Amino acid sequence: MQYTKFLPCKKKRKNVVSESAKSYQIFNKPDLRKLILSLRREMSANCIDSKSNSLAKNFLNHLSSYDSINSVALYSPVNNEVDTKAIHDELIYQGKEILYPKIIDNKLVFIEFESFEDFTYGEFNILEPSGKKCRHPKLIDLFVVPSIAVGVKGKRLGYGGGFYDRALESVPKEKIWSIIYDFQHVYDFWGEDHDIKVSMVFTNSKLLSIN
């Protein structure tokens, strides 16, 4: 399968990267993580903004059909992840409740959003809310999770710490969505039983509902 056209902003890549991208389905987790992160590192700020804004429109358009979703857990982007700021702003305008992840005692919890002025850099140099109003995951309607990659069967590849896997292990996958660039949607990879799965994947070229 050809993946070259889905690489960051259609920038020409070295042959070794292009050939590796064609073989996503045989990658183990560390190798796939390394490849995807290398591709994201080379994305320009303009490219990230353009793709993030496009994805935000697609996401919000789809979300509008879910009247029962009133609380959404977003994430603070790092390492050139899809930026969720446009989504955040629109959801606040709509009166939705927004939560952000925070690591406390090596555990991922979700804090009610109050103001970005209260955010500080946490353990992994990720902006986190400084508030203490935690909400149990079962009381949150939707989770938008950051991903290194997502397989065609919904398997999610994260950074390797297992924080989301542990925090959302009892949450139905129907409540877990991911927003990624095209090149992060892969055929499959060698995952593990504890890897959480997502039910909805948004990329720049498609929307995938995974049963």
pLDDT of residue 44: 96
Total structural domains in the chain? 1
How far apart (Å, rounded) are the C-alpha atoms in residues 5 and 110? 36
Residue 134 phi, psi (nearest 5): -80, 150
In a domain, 36, yes or no: no
CA distance 105 to 85: 27
Residue 114 lies in a domain: yes
Domain that holds residue 52: 43-209
**Which pair of structure tokens corresponds to residue 175?**
């409540």
- How far apart (Å, rounded) are the C-alpha atoms in residues 201 and 150? 8
Per-residue pLDDT of the chain (211 residues; tens, 9 = 90+): 333 344 566 554 433 333 444 444 556 788 889 999 999 999 999 999 999 999 999 999 999 999 999 999 999 999 999 999 999 999 999 999 999 999 999 999 999 999 999 999 998 899 999 988 999 999 999 999 999 999 888 889 999 899 999 999 999 999 999 999 999 998 766 667 778 899 999 999 999 998 7
Q: How far apart are CA 18 and CA 35, in angstroms?
A: 10
**Angstrom distance (rounded) from CA 156 to CA 177:** 10
Residue 18: inside a domain: no
Q: Model pTM?
A: 0.87
C-alpha closest to that of 124 among 98, 106, 140, 136: 106
* Res 190: pLDDT: 60
pLDDT at 61: 96
Flag whether 141 is in a domain. Answer: yes
Return the CA Rg of the chain. Answer: 17
20 part of a folded domain: no
Is 191 a domain residue?
yes
Are 115 and 133 within 8 A, CB to CB?
no
How big is the CA angle at 71 (ends 138 and 139), to the nearest 5 degrees? 15
Q: Tell me the pLDDT tens digit for each residue of 67-118.
A: 999 999 999 999 999 999 999 999 999 999 999 999 999 999 999 999 999 9
In-domain check, residue 22: no
SS3 167: helix
Encode 114-136: b = buried (16+ Cβ within 10 Å), e = exposed: eeeeebeebeeebebbebeeeee
Cα of first residue to Cα of last residue in the chain, in angstroms, is: 23
CA distance 102 to 199: 23
Indicate which CATH number applies to the domain containing 146: 3.40.50.10420
Q: Give me the phi and psi of 117, to 5 degrees please.
A: -65, -20
34 within domain boundaries: no
* Rounded Cα distance, 126 and 12, in Å: 30
